[in-house]
Chains A and B, each alone.
Chain A
Amino acid sequence: MDDRAHIRVELLSNPAYLSGARELISSVCKRLGFDDLTCSKVALAVDEALCNVIRHGYKHSEDRPIWISLWPLSNEAGQPDGVKLVIEDEAEQVDPEKMKGRELTDIRPGGLGVHIIRDVMDDVRYERREQVGMRLTMIKRVPRCCTPARLSGGMAADRGG
Chain B
Amino acid sequence: MTLLQVRDLTVGFRSGGLLSRLRGKGRLDVVAGVDFDLAAGETMALVGESGSGKTTLARAIAGLGGEVSGDIRFDGEVMDLRRDHRKLRREIAFIFQDAVSSLSPRFTVRSLIREPFRIHGLPCPEGEVERLLKLVGLAPEIADRHPHQLSGGQARRVGVARALTLKPRLVIADEPTAGLDVSVQSEVLNLLNGLREELGLSLLIITHNLNVVRHVADRMAIMYLGRFVEIGETAPIYAEPRHPYTAALLSANPIIDPAARHKRIDLEGEVPSLVNRPKGCEFHGRCPFVQTDCRLRAPLPVTEPGRRFTCHHPLQGL
A associates with B: no
